[in-house]
Structure 1
């Protein structure tokens, strides 16, 4: 094996190795999920060298410099003060979803007006209008980290694959018998997964546009699909109260996660693929062990349905959003509730962590989004100005831009 070069990954912290073996180019990552500004870089370097033989003595100083750069980035985290930048009257009917590309230079919006639009973040200029769906465009995604393709899922039962640069439609994926409500690219951008009201998920080949597999077994609509970071497993959450883990290569169901007593609202793997988090209308969130499929914790406390749930990028924290008007942050290891985020006057439908992990962003039916400090639970900023409920909020990769999407047909950019 021959090491060609290193790449640095800021969120979550890690070092990517590009190497050659038997004439084939490969990559592997060294995840540094527990790195802090206080970590001793020499001790960490030694630990890495003991477990990774590609890092020889001649490369040691280079790796140490990468560790120091990561620590410096961590030390800068989350002091950004967001200000309203611009409002885009994006669509003639309400928005359904928004998504950034990896660089944050572009974002996309889906809408009830049957279109998806591509925007330049800095100028607010519309770059492309993706037309062709015959019903609501409900789910949208870039194929990050590449950002050269866009997938759109529609109530017209199809998913379309588009060129992000030109707006040309590459493929229309047909086969679902009901509305498509969620989708995801795998990490290598070779597959798209779609989840439908027809109780199935499907895997589609990006290159050929052909269906690869139909994942059957759920008995009600699938509301959430999520690939793990390796790309070999997919998790689906359904209105049948269950969650399924699937082997992507074979389409075989590995585990069914049974324990919730009402509909699933969202599902997600943590970064190292060891845990799955699920949110449910039964007012709880659960953590599951991926390998065994066993429930390792039930995170309670909400008085109404849990509408959204997510891990931070390091996998150390879980955030929940609820119809009770609050959000909560839990420890993924001790399972205790660390802070309750109180202040919204309506249900909280979306929650996400900043890439650095020190902030939480929430979206609410009270027409505001809020930015919170993870450690203290203090509300740092109220993002006001929308005239109807906000049901989408996202950070860019650097964590210094926020987009909020609203039922008022607009999205707002915050720097």
Structure 2
């Protein structure tokens, strides 16, 4: 969500205040051209002193004069309110959706959280209205499991579905129209992702390749060939010019999107990769592996800068907070861990699940941690203490997927029991 402030000054057009991660974008005109630049406020919290923040912004940016600082103060105050989190808040079950005829595979929100999608072994993807739990559309056409799904956030006007039928489809979530069926993979598609600009779609497959597609035309752009095992995870950086892929061949590859060329092969894991993620500024890549470790890599050099060895079983998921300063790992040893990225020091251990943890994430504010487990529960944790603050119970089979909406006030859990649950 962006708060827009239109300015009367000739060259300065407007400020955009970004909630997660906190930041200020300045749009301005210079020599007849339109430009923008980002001032990150990654250390901004619900306790930040607004006057000190304004002083810092004025020192960093010449366009922010005292008069203009007065205009920035109100949205910064709203930003501070947005980052506040009532630690006593408990999520309650809002809806139980008998979503599919067969188990769910994944769930995902659009940017604003007004819609979410579910994929299933029943070969469909469904679009839901979050507030009512009403099913809006059933996206039908795949001939096998719909395993990977994604909204083209922040726009939210397209959905991609990757299937075991070796194709990916791009849909209009409002009308249910299938824009394109993307063909070319020779094995199951298990991961899909739009770049942040919604111009390129990436697909990863058990055929050892990732492919890039033009979102506007549906045309194939390039094949990313270099892995010798299945590609099971991929992630774009925030500018969309690089993508990282993780494979069952135990390696991670970094690619230049525009050129379709490999930049680095990250070698060091001794077993299959389970997930890969960039941090916020794309300076660091985290990789989770079945070898019981998580590795941190310097994006520029491709060098391993740290190996996190605190789990006693396979590491199944990894996630950064919105600012990229903290890292979560989830493991088959039934625990989750939180690290400070700069020091690689373990700050908290989340212990209490009775089955493997397959998914882990922060809420947007970075004040809660969410886990999904084979023990049929999802749990909320305090990142400060590692204490379990709430158990989300009710599913009768393992939970495959869980996700916060953008505001952090709604959770969706998807389960092997064919249902998803909405918690608010």
* TM category, shorter: over 0.9
- Give the match for residue 163 of structure 1: 172
Contact 1:77 1:356 in 2 (8 A): no
CA deviation vs aligned residue, 1:90-128 (integer Å, no higher than 9, x gap): 000111000000111110000011100000111111000
Query: Structure 1: how far apart are the matches of 2:32 and 2:132?
Result: 44
- How far apart are 1:79 and its partner, in Å? 4.5
Deviation at 1:74, TM superposition (A): 2.2
Summarize deviations over 1:167-187 as a string: whole Å, max 9, x none: 101111111111110011101
Which of 22, 25, 46 lines up with 1:16 in the alignment?
25
**Partner residue in 2 for 1:265:** 274
| From 123, 130, 143, the counterpart of 2:132 | 123
Q: Report what 1:334 is aligned to.
A: 343
Matched, 1:73 2:82: yes
Q: 1:38 to 1:367 in 2, by over 3 A?
A: closer
Work out which of the residue numbers 80, 90, 99 in structure 2 matches 1:90: 99
Gaps of 5+ in 2: 1-9
Quote how far apart the aligned CAs of 1:299 are. Answer: 1.1
TM-score, normalised with respect to structure 2: 0.94
1:246 aligned to 239, 242, 255, which one? 255
When the two chains are superposed, the root-mean-square deviation of aligned CA atoms in Å is: 1.5
Per-residue deviation, 1:23: 5.4
Give 2:368's match in structure 1, choosing from 353, 356, 359: 359
Q: Does 1:222 align with 2:226?
A: no
In 1, the alpha carbon distance for the partners of 2:30 and 2:248 equals: 45
Provide runs of 4+ in structure 1 moved above 6 Å. none
Q: What is the deviation of 1:31?
A: 1.5
> In structure 1, what is the Cα distance between the partners aligned to 2:405 and 2:139?
22
1-structure distance, mates of 2:35, 2:184: 34
In 2: Cα distance, 1:126 partner to 1:337 partner: 42
Structure 2 partner of 1:42: 51
Give 1:313's aligned residue.
322
Aligned to 2:407: 398
**Contact preservation (8 Å) 2:84, 2:365:** no
Aligned to 1:205: 214
- Corresponding residue of 2:334: 325
Does the 8 Å CA contact 2:279/2:285 hold for their aligned counterparts?
Answer: yes
Q: Distance in 2 between matches of 1:182 and 1:2?
A: 43
Distance 1:25 1:199 in 2: 42
Q: CA deviation at 1:136?
A: 0.6
- Number of residues paired by the alignment? 415
Q: Which residue of 1 aligns with 2:159?
A: 150
Equivalent of 1:343, from 348, 352, 356?
352
CA distance in 1, matches of 2:31, 2:393: 57
**What's 1:370 paired with?**
379
- TM-aligned CA deviation for residue 295 of structure 1: 1.2
Residues 201 and 215, structure 2, Cα contact 8 Å, conserved in 1: yes
Pairing 1:52–2:48 present: no
Q: Is the 8 A contact 1:307 1:323 kept in 2?
A: yes
